[in-house]
Structure 1
Amino acid sequence: MAERADKLKEEVAEMIASSAFSGQRERLHLIDTLERLCLDHLFEEEINAALPQIEAAGASDCDLGTVALWFCLLRKHRYRVSPDVFARFKNEEGGFLADNPEDLLSLYDAAHMRMQGETILDEAILFTRRRLETVLRNMEESSLARETKSALEIPLPRRVRIYDSKHYISAYEKDATVHETVLQLAKLNSNIMQLHYQHDLQIITRSMTILDDIYDSYATPEECEILTKCIEKTEDLVRSFNKEVKMLQDGYIPKSVEEHLQVSIRTGGCPILSCASFIGMNDIATKNCFDWVSRIPNMVQALSRILRLLDDLQSYEREQLIPHVASTIDSYMKEHNVSIEVAREKIHTLKEESWKDFNDEWLNPNNTYPKKVLERLFNLTRTMEFMYNQDDNFTNCSNLKDTIYLLFVEPFAELI
């Protein structure tokens, strides 16, 4: 299996090299396809070499779909490209010159890499979402319809990639532009990675706890020492839990969402999860990285806010049926004297603002920590969106049965 994968990798690497002589559109689509198929980790050197050339070539002569793909790809790789590239697609009515679902979808996904103050991307999301919702109602069942539905639930840059890739491989197989070598490598790589996941699960389930497993099997002695220091800082977490208990006992509702978040962003556990996510990165995650993340920097604060707001949006009705600490929705209703419907909408807006803050940090040139370290935090944030998509799947974990089976048990069919 590994020998065959190596041979296919060589062929795909040649495709990437030869794409330098193709047009910008073809090159972008190839790299995007490799990323959607979760093959990009096999071609990091080739892709990293291509990105500066792609940025320099620009997209001034390209159609909207290609411009959106250029923008989204570069921002996902921490290139702080300007959203002004979309200005020439605005019309006199304030909308965008997008007529087909593919262009609408590309612009919608790209705009979700927005930062604070990027009004044109805010406008793009409002415009494309309305149009896509209308178009979807009249679409026949197809891969484009499924992709549109998925994007309206979770935009592409926020999706958990290993889960999304399983569905994309099946869709790519039916695509008119499918390249058989890329498809075969994608299936083979997915099956190989699944074997790794199964091996890791076996190790974890043989251990008493995940923490035992981290210390015994995965972490280096230096990582264990650093993680221990991070865990020792959980006094803040314990104090925050205690504050929530007192809030519940006293029936106290924080006077504002910000007052609520001062406590509740810690009780979500994201600072500890962020620290733990660096385990196993060896020399990539240095002591400085652990020290940075344990200080709960802006990026971790944004991640923590996103989790708290997502959780409250999906669990509010259930928590009203039992004694439970007040949510951010309760605080917003108290602060502004509004209905639950208005409060829910505002909490959703605050969640989107927190994503802008997160993207600001992702694209911040002063964040000089390794990209792979920052990607761990990005993937945690994506996981939060996934866990609270349509429901509180953290609490109602039986909802994840089919997902777990797809990722850890079901391989792609025997390859030719």
Structure 2
Amino acid sequence: MATGMKAAVKQPEDVNGSGGDDVPFDPSMWRDYFITYTAPLSQARTEEWMRARAETLTGEVRRTMLDVAGDANDDSSAAAMLVDTLERLGLDGHFRQEIGAAMGRLCREVASDRDDLHTVALRFRLLRQHGLRVSADVFDKFREGSGDFSPSLRNDSRGLLSLYNAAHTATPNEASLNYAIAFARRHLEAMKDELTPPMAKQVSRALDIPLPRFPRRHETMNYLAEYEKEDEHNSMLLELARLDFDLARSLHLKELKTLSMWWRELYDSVKLSYARDRLVESYLWICGVFHEEDYSRARIMFAKFFGLLSLMDDTYDVHATLDECFKLNEAIQRWDESAVSILPKYLRVFYIKLLNNFNELEDSLEPHEKYRISYTRNAFKLSSEYYLREAKWSNENYAPSFAEQLEVSSMSSYPLLAPAMLMGVGDDGVATAEAFEWAAAVPDMISASGEVARFLNDIASHVVRKSKKDVPSTVECYMAEHGGGGEGAVAAVAALAERAWRTINRAFLEMDPSLLPAARLIVNLTKMLEVIYLGGGDVYTFGDGLKGLISSLFLKPAIVYTQ
């Protein structure tokens, strides 16, 4: 990733330029693709028809299905399963009030002794993912006197999968959930080759990335096909979910066209050929944070901030001399066109473009929202300060301690994205003034998100060689302080990433309810890291690794119409 992530590289080459020791990245595999792309007309009805049909179905679902969620006379397990289905199909945004009522009911009611493992685990996961406390003691009834889970559960694939996913909402020091994860994983691994779809695919996906850490848009893409194969699926709900997915996808394509034109003009004019050309990949990342149609402005504004920060990041990381780094940081701290004169010639166009784009971002905000740009500008300035500190370490061949490295590199990556993420969000109780103050203070949740980013990135860059200018990673610092080989250090850093996830889980449960909507976006941002760095890879820097996922999310409709 850009924004402070140390990009793994393939083969360093000499490139003419001021820095001299550049590492050019693979060119974009998309370039102008989404500028010229036109969806085949035969694959969809008109957008007007789709919206009218979706509105009709939404009303039908509300009238015929959602009474179950609020009816105290019905089994609460039915309410939990309906909420889970709506969320996994990506429809929860249409039924927030009904889902809120259902979750309140699940929180108030005591689970029945008759509930099986799947039901108990599903209720547990949903409550925690909605910021509601529930004790891990609910799983005690499935244990024997020795504390081990009952042997009768070993062949319960549905129950084990639910337990595995639920246990990944653990907070620090919940040892019983550690055991639950190990127990469920061991038996799911043993049976996965014998399972049939859709359970086989769901288990395989969860073993890679547990459901609470899997991006929701990606889950919807998979679950649309899997839900249809469930014996008790509802055809009306399935049709609505497919329409909703395609309507959002159509808007995403329009945004990709707009952003691709903006980026191509910016990237080609600044002529920083050493920087990663990853507009489409970054947009995919951003759709993992908020994919809904209501967040269109937020996506576009965040993507522009992301792209500008990416150019600055790669300038510090792989190209600029230390003297140039100092000058760039001075100009950014001054934030005034007059500062352009102190910059080397190759950075002057970038600097002017940076200031102009921030002015345009501010113009995109309503008068009562314009205060937000100061938080975003301050985040950009702070990023520059952290990048400069890393550049100084690199130039001086300084080997930081593990604690020093983590303090700087975790802040230079993710935490400073939070204000930019909130910048374009509308007036829906998410991007409040309190939310910006919370984000700017970098609370535990946001700092832990930065740690997840740092640790997963450093594991990836340990496998694939880095730029020569990079300072030692957390993996290398760990090896220097604790001895041993790289394999042990990678395992230790992976354990620290798990600890950071649990800090995020705890912070979410302790959050002021008014800040939960903003905090949920931070969680979504962190989830995308699991996809980008899955298996120790870095599919953002090496963009070909995301080709299939980008094609599936943006180019393949959920419904193929034959009429």
Structure 2 length-normalised TM:
0.70
Verify: 1:383 aligned to 2:383, yes or no: no
Verify: 1:162 aligned to 2:212, yes or no: no
Deviation of 1:217 after TM superposition, in Å, equals 7.2
Bigger relative contact order, structure 1 or 2, given CA contacts below 8 A and separation 6+? 2
One-letter amino acid matched to 1:280? G
The equivalent of 2:401 in structure 1 is: 255
The equivalent of 1:13 in structure 2 is: 62
Say whether the 8 Å CA contact 2:242–2:558 is kept in structure 1: yes
Verify: 1:276 aligned to 2:413, yes or no: no
The equivalent of 1:297 in structure 2 is: 443
Deviation of 1:272 after TM superposition, in Å, equals 2.8
CA distance in 2, matches of 1:90, 1:68: 14
Say whether the 8 Å CA contact 1:230–1:294 is kept in structure 2: no
Verify: 1:3 aligned to 2:52, yes or no: yes
SS, match of residue 558 in structure 2: coil
Alpha-carbon deviations, 1:37-95, whole Å to 9, x = none? 00111110111111111222222421111000000011111101111111121224443
CA distance in 1, matches of 2:171, 2:97: 28
CA distance in 1, matches of 2:514, 2:444: 14
CA distance in 2, matches of 1:251, 1:130: 44
Say whether the 8 Å CA contact 2:80–2:102 is kept in structure 1: no
The equivalent of 1:70 in structure 2 is: 123
Deviation of 1:255 after TM superposition, in Å, equals 2.4
1:348-359 to structure 2, matched below 5 A, reads 348-359=494-505
Verify: 1:194 aligned to 2:340, yes or no: no
1:257-406 to structure 2, matched below 5 A, reads 258-268=403-413, 270-283=414-427, 284=429, 285-319=431-465, 322-365=468-511, 367-390=512-535, 391-406=537-552
- Computing the radius of gyration from Cα coordinates, the structure with the larger value is 2
CA distance in 1, matches of 2:379, 2:251: 32
Say whether the 8 Å CA contact 1:311–1:388 is kept in structure 2: yes
Say whether the 8 Å CA contact 1:231–1:272 is kept in structure 2: no
CA distance in 2, matches of 1:297, 1:393: 29
**Number of residue pairs matched by the alignment:** 412
Say whether the 8 Å CA contact 1:60–1:85 is kept in structure 2: no
CA distance in 2, matches of 1:249, 1:126: 44
**Higher mean C-alpha deviation, range 371-380 or range 198-207:** 198-207
Deviation of 1:271 after TM superposition, in Å, equals 2.5
CA distance in 1, matches of 2:379, 2:548: 36
The equivalent of 1:128 in structure 2 is: 184
The equivalent of 2:97 in structure 1 is: 45
Say whether the 8 Å CA contact 1:306–1:351 is kept in structure 2: yes
Alpha-carbon deviations, 1:166-216, whole Å to 9, x = none? 110001111111111111111111111111212222332343562439717
Alpha-carbon deviations, 1:117-139, whole Å to 9, x = none? 21111111121122222222x32
SS, match of residue 194 in structure 2: coil
CA distance in 2, matches of 1:301, 1:321: 25
Say whether the 8 Å CA contact 1:215–1:224 is kept in structure 2: no
CA distance in 2, matches of 1:91, 1:291: 48
Say whether the 8 Å CA contact 1:218–1:279 is kept in structure 2: no
Deviation of 1:13 after TM superposition, in Å, equals 1.2
Say whether the 8 Å CA contact 1:220–1:280 is kept in structure 2: no
Say whether the 8 Å CA contact 1:115–1:359 is kept in structure 2: yes
CA distance in 1, matches of 2:502, 2:490: 19
1:206-221 to structure 2, matched below 5 A, reads 206-207=261-262, 210-211=304-305, 212=357, 215=361, 218-221=364-367
Say whether the 8 Å CA contact 2:68–2:79 is kept in structure 1: no
Alpha-carbon deviations, 1:235-291, whole Å to 9, x = none? 4322321222233233333222x22111101221x2332111112323321222212
The equivalent of 1:144 in structure 2 is: 199
Verify: 1:106 aligned to 2:162, yes or no: yes
CA distance in 2, matches of 1:42, 1:318: 43
Identity %: 32
The equivalent of 2:28 in structure 1 is: none
One-letter amino acid matched to 2:373? L
One-letter amino acid matched to 1:113? T
Say whether the 8 Å CA contact 1:69–1:110 is kept in structure 2: yes
CA distance in 1, matches of 2:196, 2:86: 25
Say whether the 8 Å CA contact 2:376–2:423 is kept in structure 1: no
CA distance in 1, matches of 2:460, 2:206: 18
**Higher mean C-alpha deviation, range 226-235 or range 375-384:** 226-235
One-letter amino acid matched to 2:116? D
CA distance in 2, matches of 1:194, 1:47: 24
Deviation of 1:22 after TM superposition, in Å, equals 3.0
What RMSD over aligned residues (CA atoms) do the two structures have, in Å?
Answer: 2.1
Verify: 1:25 aligned to 2:81, yes or no: no
One-letter amino acid matched to 2:54? A
- Give unpaired runs (5+ residues) of structure 1: none
Verify: 1:203 aligned to 2:348, yes or no: no
Deviation of 1:362 after TM superposition, in Å, equals 0.7
One-letter amino acid matched to 1:112? H
The equivalent of 2:234 in structure 1 is: 179
One-letter amino acid matched to 1:39? L
Deviation of 1:323 after TM superposition, in Å, equals 4.9
